[in-house]
Structure formats: C-alpha cells, structure tokens
Amino acid sequence: MGSRGPCRGSALPSSPSPLLLQTVVQTSMTRSQVALLGLGLLFMLLLYVGLPGPPEQTSWLWGDPNVTILAGLTPGSSPIFYREVLPLHRARRVDVVLLHGKAFNSRTWEQLGTLQLLAQRGYRAVALDLPGFGNSAPSKEASTEAGRAQLLERVLQDLEVQNVVLVSPSLSGCYALPFLMQGHHQLHGFVPIAPASTQNYTQEQFQAVKTPTLILYGELDRVLAWESLRQLRHLPNHSVVKLRDAGHACYLHKPQDFHLVLLAFLDHLP
Ligand SMILES: *[C@@H]1O[C@H](CO)[C@@H](O)[C@H](O)[C@H]1NC(C)=O
Ligand SMILES: *[C@@H]1O[C@H](CO)[C@@H](O)[C@H](O)[C@H]1NC(C)=O
Ligand SMILES: *[C@@H]1O[C@H](CO)[C@@H](O)[C@H](O)[C@H]1NC(C)=O
C-alpha cells in the first residue's frame, strides 16, 4: 500500500455510526470546531436515542461499576491520551496495551467492557488514542514508520508498562508492526486483529519474532484478514482464532467470544 496506504490519515468508514462521525468530519474542520460539533451531536444523540448504541449486531457489555477507569496524558511535547485500569484483585504478570482501528479510539475498549474485564481478571490494561484520534492531537512523528515505532515505545516507557501484551486491530498495525519488528524482545505477547501494513515486511522478518502471538480475525472480513494472516503465519509461535459471523471489527461483533479467547491467551502466557 506504500505511502498512500492506511497509515496516512483517515479514510471514510464503511458504515455510519456516532463513533465514526467525528473521524469523517475531522478531515475538513479544526479540532475545536470538531469538538463543538461532537458535543452537539452527542447531546442530540443522548436526547433522541439514549446512550450511543452498538454498531451492527453487537451485544454491548456494560462495565463493572467496581472498576475505576483512569484517564490521562503522557508527558512531553506530543502527549498521548490513555485510559487505564488497575488490577481489581491480585496482579498478573503481564500488562495489556490496547490500540484501535480507524473508526475507533480508546473509548471503544471501555464501551465494550474490555478494560473492566481485564481489571477484574487481575490485569493492568491501558488503551491509547493514537495520534489524530480521540483526545490525542495529530503528530508529525506518526508520518514515518520509524516515528510510529518510536512513539509507541516512548508511550510504553512513560506509562511504565511491564511485560507488555500488545493488542492491535486494523489501522494500528501501522504502529504495532514496526514496533514488533524492532522491539519484539520488549513484548510478552502480541494479539494482531487483521492489522494493517503486514505486507511491508518480509517472511524472514516475521520468522525472527519469537513473541507468543494470538492471530484473531473475523470470518466475514474481506478487508485485511487474509492479507495479514498470510504474513503473520510466519511468526514461529502463533495460534489462529477465527471468530464466526464476525466482520473486520470482530471484537465488536462478537465481544463475548473475543473476550474469552483473549483471556485464555493472556492467562496461559508463561
Ligand atoms: C462490587 O463489589 C461489591 C463488594 O465487593 C460486590 O458485592 C459486588 O458484587 C461487586 N459488583 C460487581 C458487578 O462485581
Ligand atoms: C514500508 O516500509 C518502508 C521501508 O521499510 C517504509 O519506508 C514505509 O514507510 C513503510 N510503509 C508503511 C505503510 O509502514
Ligand atoms: C509459545 O507461546 C506460548 C504461549 O502462547 C508459550 O506458553 C510457549 O512457551 C511458547 N513457546 C516457545 C517455544 O516460545
């Protein structure tokens, strides 16, 4: 896909939903205009339909009220917004870092209940807004492959995440894959969900990565699932799970299955 690939800016999402609207609008307006418009839209939405509803046939899971979701910005000149949960009971050995696809942001993992579930299960988890999404400003650094890997590495250091398991759907592959190629020794686990930019690396590069990997994709994904699977299969320690009746954003379409598979993978990491 080269320089015009998915790593450059946002394209139009395939189906309209309140979450997506902001991304579409953002291409032609300033951030403050978008913020105002976003607030307006949200307000109208709350008036008319209550809280934002699920895209497609999602069974939207409500979070555990006992889990507190913290939020903050990383220090430094181009701060990254994050949402974080701490283990509710005893802490596990790994921390989970959640990236997001083009039509989403860190809030998706709160709405889906993933953050809350991980906290209940004893994991610290951090969901990031990638530059130019959610509450993170666009960053010049994000325009190159090396810059995206560096940015991710710095965020992990700033947030002092230990033994990272990186969950990377779709567009976020533009960050996760360059990071994996050079920094896989820092990763305890990798969960690619039809990530972008796998075609940019060679079979040999994948073979050199020993990180335990759970490859997830939706049965109905005609976008990136096959392309990425073809490449990710070269990772020496991987398992593959196909979520039935789920599309490209398979975690949204089958959140319960997604959560079960993710927890099973996390719980069995060495
Ligand atoms: C929240 O915590 C209280 C006290 O520990 C417990 O009784 C309750 O079941 C918890 N709620 C949920 C949804 O887990
Ligand atoms: C693909 O790799 C080349 C060379 O390693 C790099 O210059 C380019 O930015 C990469 N493209 C993407 C989309 O990551
Ligand atoms: C492969 O990954 C699993 C966890 O998914 C781990 O238990 C196992 O030790 C790994 N095998 C090797 C050879 O690293």
Provide the pLDDT confidence category of residue 36 given band limits of 50, 70 and 90: low
The Å distance, Cα 190 to ligand 2 centre, comes to: 20
Q: Is the pLDDT of residue 33 over 90?
A: no
Provide the pLDDT confidence category of residue 76 given band limits of 50, 70 and 90: confident
Q: Is the pLDDT of residue 216 over 50?
A: yes
Pocket of ligand 1 (CB under 6 A): 64-66
Ligand number, closest to the Cα atom of 264: 3
The Cα–Cα gap between 143 and 109 comes to: 25
The Cα–Cα gap between 83 and 106 comes to: 7
> Which pTM was predicted?
0.80
Q: Give the chain's domains with CATH numbers.
A: 9-53 (no CATH), 59-267 (3.40.50.1820)
Provide the pLDDT confidence category of residue 60 given band limits of 50, 70 and 90: very low
Supply the pLDDT for residue 176. 98
194-213 confidence digits (pLDDT tens): 999 999 999 999 999 999 99
Supply the pLDDT for residue 46. 46
User: Higher-confidence residue: 222 or 267?
Assistant: 267
Residue nearest to atom 6 of ligand 2 (CA): 145
Provide the pLDDT confidence category of residue 54 given band limits of 50, 70 and 90: very low
Supply the pLDDT for residue 9. 57
Tokens of 223: 């976008």
**Are 185 and 164 a contacting pair, CB within 8 Å?**
no
Nearest C-alpha neighbor of 100 from the set 92, 91, 90, 110: 110
Catalytic residue numbers, as ranges:
170, 221, 248
Q: What letters, b where the CB count within 10 A reaches 16 and e where it falls short, cover 172-209?
A: bbbbbbbbbbebbebbbbbbbbbbbbbebbeeebbeeb
Supply the pLDDT for residue 249. 96
Supply the pLDDT for residue 65. 75
Q: What is the mean pLDDT of residues 168-189?
A: 96
Q: What is the mean pLDDT of residues 111-123?
A: 95
Q: Is the pLDDT of residue 23 over 90?
A: no
Provide the pLDDT confidence category of residue 85 given band limits of 50, 70 and 90: very high
Contact partners, residue 93, CB within 8 Å, separation at least 6 = 163, 188, 269
To test the pocket of ligand 3, the residue of 237, 261, 268 to mutate (highest count of ligand atoms within 8 Å of its CB) is: 237
Q: Is the pLDDT of residue 91 over 50?
A: yes
